Amino acid sequence: MGGDMAAERKCLGVVHATAKGYDSMVPFINKYLQGIQVLNFMDEGLINEFDKVKKLTPSVRKRFARLLETADTAGTDLILIGCTSFIPVALALRSHTETRVVTPYEAVSADVVGTYRKVALVATLQGGISPALDAITLRDAQMGTATQVEPIVMEEAFRALQDGSRETHDALIIERVGNIEGVDAVVLSQFTLADLVEPLQRVCTVPVLATM
């Protein structure tokens, strides 16, 4: 019986380009994915290379493709893209994978569109804005709505996190987002921001949503 139960256990593969994103996901995995096997696939050099050139070069795309292929051939039942900057590559490649590939924005765009007139979209890298904006735009087209989006990119917070100062990273985000006005909701556009939902909700007068 034990062998049958183990065989039925579902496996989620999560593709990362930074350990910081994984660290932010752990509490959510422990809370919501009990009984699910989670395999993590990571290439931290990807985010460093991307940050230097600010674009998805052929070299970056090839490295990510190899990482996604590893996840696809590891016996996973579902693959979640855990780094927002590489979602465009994942979307281009998912028709070539046997395992279904999903992004965090498919769910959050459904929560936003039709509910909020204007949202602030918060990221610490420019690459974290475009995929979320694309998902909201696509959902708007499907729903016949027109959600206004105010992008907020805080690269100084990313630098602090890369330097090992999570405290500075969090303080910068809370100070900037806590004072925002003129929006109906705040969307945190990266997994590395997910654990700031509760502290931000204490200082924000509008709902704070995460992509997790």
Task: Give tens-digit pLDDT for 41-55.
Answer: 999 888 778 777 778
Q: Which two tokens stand for residue 102?
A: 């999903």
Task: Give tens-digit pLDDT for 187-211.
Answer: 998 888 888 999 999 999 999 998 7
- Band of pLDDT at residue 1, cut at 50, 70 and 90: very low
Cβ-based burial of 46 (10 A; exposed 0-12, middle 13-18, buried ≥19): buried
Say how far apart CA 96 and CA 104 lie, in whole Å. Answer: 20
Q: Is the pLDDT of residue 159 over 70?
A: yes
- Greatest mean pLDDT range, 52-56, 86-90, 109-113: 109-113
Residue 5 is predicted with a pLDDT of 42
Say how far apart CA 75 and CA 65 lie, in whole Å. Answer: 17
Determine the 3-state secondary structure of 44 from DSSP: helix
Average pLDDT over residues 57-75: 93
- Band of pLDDT at residue 4, cut at 50, 70 and 90: very low
Residue 162 is predicted with a pLDDT of 83
- Band of pLDDT at residue 39, cut at 50, 70 and 90: very high
Assess contact for 103 and 87: CB atoms under 8 A. yes
Residue 7 is predicted with a pLDDT of 53
